[in-house]
Structure 1
Amino acid sequence: MEAVLAKYENQINAFSEFLEDLPDTKEPVWILGAHYNVKTEKAELLSDVRSRLWFTYRKKFSPIGGTGPSSDAGWGCMLRCGQMILAQALLCWRLGRDWRWRKEGGMPEEYKRILHSFLDRKDCCYSIHQMAQMGVGEGKSVGEWYGPNTVAQVLKKLALFDDWNSLAVYVSMDNTVVIEDIRKLCGKPGRGWLRTGACGWGAPFAASDPVEPGSSQTPGNHVTSCPHSHSEWRPLLLIIPLRMGINHINPVYIQAVKECFKMPQSLGMLGGKPNLAYYFIGFIGEELIYLDPHTTQPAVESEPGVAVDDQSYHCQRTPRRMKALSLDPSVALGFFCKNEEDFDSWCNLVQQEILKKRNQRMFELVEKHPPHWPPFIPPTKPDVQTTGAEFIESTDKLFESEEEFEILNV
């Protein structure tokens, strides 16, 4: 194991272009749909980056599956990046894109609940335990490295068991996003969608309702309206796995990738190098900005009713960068659309900034389901009464393994 870890550390150190200091430039820095001036807004930029949930390798957690590994060091980096892109969707959904983390604590209950769902325990919905074991259904052994498409399929399946958030997860196939299928997935209430109370927290409220004194809806730490009131549109996590070249990324796609980071719906991108995954959250000039999961930290102990020490879940360093042309061609773009209007806006942006301006397109956006494809059937939650890792075995036959659908574009 030490030899394996040393190999990965050497790979990381080989990329000397990862600079710790931001350049002195007039070019804007784009982070998940927001832009900053390095000269005048550096503090705001770093606060934004530090507010993203940062998931890294962990050690000394309970063995996966009871007898499996107790650390994901050396193999879990893409799973951790998958956790980060999903966590960003949940933060946008529950707290809004403008929410900021404070080191001194005092975070809203929604934030605490989101973080808890990613802890390294078998009974947490999006834990490394659940993701690794759900990956078995995708043909991946526990401890095996994942690609972007595989982790996207795992997130789609695990989201079915998350009753609190009820995210609709759509993973595109064959480099094609089908609007009709997304409307079918998001536009009709499914199991666990319409419930009494505001997400289990009290009576429903709307954005126009008055804010109670002492509530968490304050400037810089606001809570959006309840997702289960006044609307039948489920919040959408849209993941688009792509292969933008053969051995290296085709330069014709770089500008389109950058345009995606500018969109308000952006959740960033999964990618990196072979067997070396990063969560990309923005760009400056010709460099991509990313959060790096390749730091091994002890698993955080948690007890019911006790606040989790969240210091290690927020990166305190200046964000790292790499040249866009160094990116591996296999990636997955992420977007979050909180309502139907948000999705319509995203479709318009894609048409204007990605499709009409490019002779060679990263992906296609079509209105109707292709007639030669199998019928689109939105997945539903199985009748399973547990959220522990044992539900993996009971769902093995519910999902059929899906093709990679990564077409080479060169």
Structure 2
Amino acid sequence: MMNTSTSSARGEDQSTEAELTDDWLFLSTASAGPEVLTVSGAEAVDRGKLKSKLVSAWNSVKYVWPLKQKSKFSKSSPVVMLGKSYKLRDQGKRECFRCSFASLLWLTYRRGFAPLVGCALTTDSGWGCVLRTGQMLLARGLMLHLLPPDWTWSVCHHVVKDDMDLESLKEGRKKLHRALSLGSLPSRPMEATHRRVVSWFTDTPEAPFGIHQLVDLGRSSGKKAGDWYGPSVVAHIIRKAVAASAALPNLVVYVAQDCTVYLEDVRRLCQGPSPESWKSVIILVPVRLGGQDLNASYITCVKNLLALKCCIGIIGGKPKHSLFFVGFQGDHLLYLDPHYCQPTVDTAKGNFPLESFHCKYPRKMSFSRMDPSCTIGFYARSQMDFKSLCTAVSESLSSPGSLHVRRDVPHVHICRGTRSSGRHQ
């Protein structure tokens, strides 16, 4: 059993941070996967529904207790999140960080959706966390693709308390509706885009990036509902989902093979019918940063990458427990956790509630607890942005303590040519 006791609180002005224990236990894949039943018909469906409810309840109980405990952030060292640095000693910067974090899409386990194909499961609780972190990574890329880079949710402070506990839905919705009605005209189109992106991840078979579509696309990789999906498999599922979506004709996803981004392959993928046309691209790089545990020599590299504006996050976590990493402070990673099981939201309604898709409770964990198997994401809007991305990533990887100084283990390459030609430079 993991230790769930918290360390004693220390003053925020101290440079040494006390890490709260956030290593609560959730159901493993083995215990949460689908059972092989010899019964049929209504009895099998009833058992599936009962199991879904039990798994959801268990994971929610194990999640909610630590959720009420805040991770401590030091005022003496900056928080770095997706290309931006925030000095928490400054109140204005602290509020900017709170608002930026609360504006990230938080996609968690859900319950009560239509049964997934081939089974009676109506929840992904206990097995779908990598799919959910993959959704969050994609959502970050889509928000950069469709909204200004500095966009923040204008009503996040009205819906989420300063102590980072969610208000009651009734009170939150009233404030949300009032804030939207008083909002400026320029913000309304952006809010409509925000809602449209959220609806793409809803838990219905029609949603292009919902759990039903991702599970269906995973079947070509030998996966089914209830299985464990690794970060690399999810990267390819995301690629297929974007390619199949008619809503994003000017966006493509490139998944690096063997930790290598081939420039000619990316160019062919992004180049449109005319020389001046260029599709935006999300680049996903599955990597392994060590053997059984994270190799400490990679920590500097991970920090350097999360400090890049082109980085859209990392699908990682602890073994069999995926998290979405978005930043760091000192020796601790900052993340969003998908393991809280929430009811499915009907996004077909025009003004559906957004509260459950955002979280203003930043969590931290030590780098030493990071699973070495992860997928790193980047986004480039234009061809010029892609060139800048390549330069920035190469410089980050060549700095002291990062991947390129380790020649005895796999590292990220950005190479000319194509994968089929095997040309490197």
Normalising by structure 1, what TM-score? 0.75
- For residue 69 of structure 1, the aligned residue among 121, 141, 144 is 121
Q: Which runs of 4+ in 1 moved over 4 A?
A: 2-14, 16-19, 370-374
Match of 2:264 among 175, 180, 189: 180
Counterpart position of 1:300: 345
> CA offset at residue 164 of structure 1?
2.3
- Per mean C-alpha deviation after superposition, the further-off stretch among 159-168 and 285-294 is 159-168
1:120-159 to structure 2, matched below 5 A, reads 120-159=203-242
Alpha-carbon shift at residue 4 of structure 1 (Å): 5.4
Q: Which amino acid aligns with 1:152?
A: A
Structure-2 change in CA distance of 1:3 and 1:61 (3 Å): closer
1:351 aligns with 2:394: yes
C-alpha displacement at 1:160, in angstroms? 1.1
Task: Provide the C-alpha distance between the structure 2 equivalents of 1:139 and 1:131, rounded to a whole number of angstroms.
Answer: 13
- Bigger drift between 159-168 and 53-62 goes to 159-168
1:90 equivalenced with 2:149 (yes/no): no
Matches within 5 A, 1:27-42: 27-40=77-90, 41-42=93-94
Which SS does the other structure have where 1:267 is aligned? strand
SS of residue paired to 1:271: strand
- Look up the SS of the partner of 1:368 in the other structure: coil
Match of 1:260 among 305, 308, 317: 305
Corresponding residue SS for 2:89: coil
Secondary structure in structure 1 of the residue aligned to 2:347: coil
- Partner SS state of residue 65, structure 1: coil
Counterpart of 2:103 in structure 1: which amino acid? S
Mapped partners of 1:176, 1:344: distance in 2 = 16
Matching residue of 2:366 = 323
1:390 matched residue in structure 2: none
Percent same amino acid among aligned pairs?
32
CA contact (8 A) 1:68 1:142 kept: no
Unaligned runs of 5+ in 1: 195-229, 375-410
**1:338 maps to 2:381:** yes
Q: CA deviation at 1:25?
A: 2.9
Instruction: Using the TM superposition, give the Cα deviation of residue 303 of structure 1 relative to its aligned residue in structure 2, in angstroms.
Output: 2.8
Alignment of 1:154-173 (within 5 A): 154-166=237-249, 167-173=251-257
Q: CA deviation at 1:276?
A: 0.5
Relative contact order: is structure 1 or structure 2 higher (C-alpha 8 Å, sep ≥ 6)?
Answer: 1
Q: Any stretches of 5+ residues in structure 2 without a counterpart? A: 1-50, 157-175, 181-187
Moved more, 175-184 or 328-337: 175-184
Aligned to 2:151: 99
Q: Show CA shifts across 1:214-251 (max 9, x none).
A: xxxxxxxxxxxxxxxx9511111000000111110111
Residue identity matched to 1:24: S
RMSD of the alignment, in Å? Answer: 2.6
Q: Which residue of 1 is the match for residue 354 of structure 2?
A: 310
Whether contact under 8 Å (1:256, 1:353) holds in the other structure is yes
Report if aligned partners of 2:55, 2:125 keep a CA contact under 8 Å in 1: no
Matched, 1:24 2:69: no
Over 3 Å counting, the alpha-carbon distance change for 1:63 and 1:231 in structure 2 is farther
- For 1:366, the equivalent position in structure 2 comes to 415
Q: SS in structure 2 opposite 1:82?
A: helix
More helix by share: 2
Q: Give the Cα–Cα distance (whole angstroms) in 2 for the partners of residues 18 and 250 of structure 1.
A: 32
**Number of residue equivalences:** 332
Q: Distance in 1 between matches of 2:119 and 2:74?
A: 51
Contact map agreement 1:17 1:321 (CA 8 A) in 2: no
Distance 1:315 1:8 in 2: 18
Q: How far, CA to CA, are the matches of 2:321 and 2:419 in structure 1?
A: 35
Cα distance, 1:7 vs structure 2: 7.6
